Structure 1
């Protein structure tokens, strides 16, 4: 079960990386970057459940906070510059 979820998330991350590289606009790239971050957090949670290590949940929480701040900063930059 965990392997199917992990493989599915890795395929989705690969497709998002493709959108990050080929995205026609900056907005597409920022959204792809945010989606990659969310899927990486999901992968960390799955790994925490599989290995029964709660440290991965703490790392996922910190990664989520940093990803949220990064997306907010990029959105503000796109909207009206720094």
Structure 2
């Protein structure tokens, strides 16, 4: 593997750990939602780099599907927060 690929995987792994920490430490629910979106975006980037490194093109399809699913989850969380969050009806 190339040094650039190893370096980018190392940096993205560090960023993934920091996003994971923010996901659990986040003081509020919107902070956690943003951390979850960042977490999924970093995972898509890691899958993309692995696809380039291994020359397996099907991983790019996996990355696209994962990015779309993460986007839909973010939209769902945003609508949930917009309506006022959990209620005791």
For residue 27 of structure 1, the aligned residue among 26, 30, 45 is: 30
Q: What is the root-mean-square deviation of aligned Cα atoms in Å? A: 1.0
Q: Which has the larger radius of gyration?
A: 2
Q: Which sections of structure 1, spanning at least 5 residues, go unmatched? A: none
Q: Which sections of structure 2, spanning at least 5 residues, go unmatched? A: none
Greater percentage in helix: 1
Instruction: Give the distance between the partners of 1:79 and 1:40, measured in 2 at CA.
Output: 27
Report the TM-score, using the length of structure 2 for normalisation. 0.89
The list of structure 1 runs, each at least 4 consecutive aligned residues, that deviate by more than 4 angstroms after superposition, is none
Report the TM-score, using the length of structure 1 for normalisation. 0.97
